[in-house]
A = this chain, B = another copy of it.
Amino acid sequence: MTRHYNFCAGPAALPAAVLERARSELLDFHGRGLSVMEMSHRSDDFIAIAERTEADLRQLLSIPSNYKVLFLQGGASMQFAMLPMNLLGKGGSANFIQTGIWGKKALGEAKRLGYSCHLAGSSEANGHVAVPEQHTLALSRDAAYLHYTSNETIGGLEFNYTPQAQCADGSVVPLVCDMSSNILSGPINVADFGVIYAGAQKNIGPAGLTLVIVRDDLLGNALPGTPSLFDYQLLAEAGSMVNTPPTYAWYLAGLVFQWLKDDMGGLDAMDVLNQRKADKLYAAIDASGFYSNPIAPPNRSRMNVPFVLADAALDKVFLNEADEAGLLNLQGHRSVGGMRASLYNAVTEEAVDALIAFMADFEQRRG
C-alpha cells in the first residue's frame, strides 16, 4: 500500500490517521460485532457517536449555545435552495456578494426558485481577482440576509475580512456564509454569522454530508410548502434525524474532528500550519518566472492555489509528470483549466514541500 500526495479540490484528501482508524473499526466497532454502517441511527452507540461529533465541533469552532448544528445531506448546493426557503418566510430579498462560480450558483438557485435577489457586491469587474471592499457593499432596502462565499474553490479567492451585513438605514441583517472549502482551516467567530454551511468533502469528511450551523432565531420561519427535509426547524428538533442520516459520513467527520483536536492541536495550530503551507507555495510561484497566480495577495486562498504555466502547451506534460511523481490531482477545474493545488487540512506540509520541489525541477527542465 502506498499513499500519494493528493491535492484534489474535493472530494479531497483525508488524514491518513483517520482512514487507518476507520479501517481498524470497519467490520467491528469497539467490539460490538458490527460496523458503524450497520447500526441503527437511533442506537445508543450511534447516538453517542453523533453527540460526541457535535460536541467536538462545538469545541473546535467555539460555537455559542444559541446555534444549532445540523448534519444533513445534499451538499452545499442543496443549501442554495434551503436558505431562501427558510430565511425569506418573513419576506424581503436575498442579498449576495459574488466572488466566483459558487456565489453565482447560490444566487442563481434562489432566482430559479422565484425569490427576490439582489447583488450587494461583486468582484466580476476585476475578473474575480480581489474581493469587494466593505465600503462598496450595498444591500437592498428590504434585505433579509446577506450571503457570501468565504473561499471560492475554483478561483482561489478568499475573503480576508468578515463582511458586515449593514443596510443603508444602519440595521444589520443575518450574514450567511458558504464555508465549504475553508471551514476548520482556522478559528472563526461564529457569532458574526446567522448561518454557516459547508459540504463535508473538503475539510470535514467524505462527500454526502453537509454541515449547517444556524442561529436559533432563524429557525421556524420556513415558507409554507417547504419539504420537511428542507425545514431547519424540523431538522433541529429531530437532531438532524427527521429520517435516516448519512451515519457513516457523520462518524468519519467525528474522527476528523478528533484528529483536529487531539493530533493537530486545534484550529489555532491549523491556522498557523495552513498559513505556512500557503505562504511557501505562493512564494515559490512568485519567485518563479514560469508559474503565476493572478489573485491579489491579500485575497489569495490558503486552501486552493490555482496557477498557470508560462507555456500552456506544457500543461499535460506537467500533470503527467506530477502524477508519476506521486503528486495527484493538480489539474484546474474543468471550467478554467490550468493547475490547482488544494492545501486542505489533511494535506501535509511534506506534501507541499514535495510539490514545490517538483515545480522547481520541472521549471528547470522544461521552463
Chain A contacts to B: CB under 8 angstroms: 1-4, 6, 8-14, 16, 19-20, 22-23, 26-28, 31-35, 37-43, 73-78, 80-81, 109, 112-114, 199, 201, 206-209, 224-225, 227-230, 242-249, 252, 326, 328-329, 334
| A interface: dominant SS | loop
Are A109 and B228 in contact, CB atoms less than 8 angstroms apart?
Answer: yes
Look across to chain B and name the residue whose beta carbon is closest to the beta carbon of A3. B33
Asked whether B114 lies within 8 Å of A225 as measured between CB atoms, the reply is yes
The reply to whether B33 and A244 form a contact with Cβ atoms under 8 Å apart is no
Residues in B whose Cβ lies below 8 Å from that of A34: 3-4, 6, 8, 13, 328
Contacts of A22 in B (CB 8 A): 26
Interface centre among A10, A14, A33, A245 (most CB of B within 10 A): A33
> What's the least CB distance linking A199 to chain B, in Å?
6
Q: Which residues of the other chain, B, contact A207 by a CB distance below 8 angstroms?
A: 37, 41, 244-248
* Chain B residues within 8 Å of A4, by CB: 32-34
- Distance of A4 Cα from B38 Cα, bound (Å): 11
Kindly list chain B residues whose C-beta atoms are within 8 Å of the C-beta of A228: 77, 80-81, 109, 112
Question: Could you tell me if A3 and B19 are in contact, using CB atoms closer than 8 angstroms?
Answer: no
* A247–B74 CB distance below 8 A: no
A26–B35 CB distance below 8 A: no
Determine which of B230, B242, B249, B328 lies in contact with A33 in the assembled complex, contact meaning CB atoms within 8 Å.
B328
Instruction: Indicate if the CB atoms of A77 and B248 lie closer than 8 Å.
Output: no
